[in-house]
Amino acid sequence: MAKLLFEIVTAERLVSSQEVDVVVAPGVEGELAVLPHHAPLLTSLKPGEVLVRNDGEETYIAVSGGFLEVMPDKVTILADAAERAEEIDEQRAEEALRRAQERLTSAPAAVDLERELASMRRSQARLSIARRRRRRGSS
Ligand code: ATP
């Protein structure tokens, strides 16, 4: 069966590079599923979870927004920040989420709403991936 080469990179590092059957990413206009032979595409991502599936095995990667490019049989995500499940520090994500929630509730008029919501979405994606990994006992 045809495969896609999937790469996710940040300014600092290559986070993941693998052959996959499908990529599902949090596009700004909704979830975007990319299969082999998808039409070329360039779109923005919002903070969330990227799911890749290969031979029935699912892997999740947290992404803090960025861009997704589809080329023939290759999907590249250029992310602001991204972490594989095993790299996520769950406690750090819990604290970041709590800080963002506190800023929003203690002085809602003074905060940058978009920024705090983006911070919450990053933390929630990290937590969801880290907790799923813990439940499964693997990545
Ligand atoms: P914090 O307030 O805890 O720093 P943040 O959402 O502001 O969280 P980012 O600016 O998105 O952090 O990321 C900064 C760097 O730290 C990136 O390299 C990112 O991959 C890494 N990072 C952030 N949170 C975590 C986490 N919970 N586990 C592992 N790496 C993380």
* Structure confidence by residue, pLDDT tens digits, 94-116: 999 999 999 988 887 888 889 99
Taking the C-alpha atoms of residue 37 and residue 2, their distance in angstroms, rounded to an integer, is 8
Residue 8's pLDDT is 98
Q: Are 19 and 3 in contact (CB under 8 A)?
A: yes
Ligand 1 atom with the shortest distance to the CA of 119: 6
* 67, pLDDT greater than 70: yes
B/e letters for 95-132, b = 16+ CB within 10 Å, e = fewer, are ebbeebeebeeeeeeeeeeeebebbbbbbbbbbbbbee
- Residue ranges and CATH numbers for the domains of the chain are 4-84 (2.60.15.10), 87-136 (1.20.5.440)
- For residue 38, the CA-to-ligand 1 centroid distance in Å is 32
In this predicted model, what pLDDT tens digit does every residue of 12-55 receive, in sequence order?
999 999 999 999 999 999 999 999 999 999 999 999 999 999 99
Ligand 1 atom with the shortest distance to the CA of 93: 27
Residue minimizing CA distance to atom 9 of ligand 1 = 81
Taking the C-alpha atoms of residue 114 and residue 12, their distance in angstroms, rounded to an integer, is 25
Residue 139's pLDDT is 46
Ligand 1 atom with the shortest distance to the CA of 89: 28
Q: Are 15 and 52 in contact (CB under 8 A)?
A: no
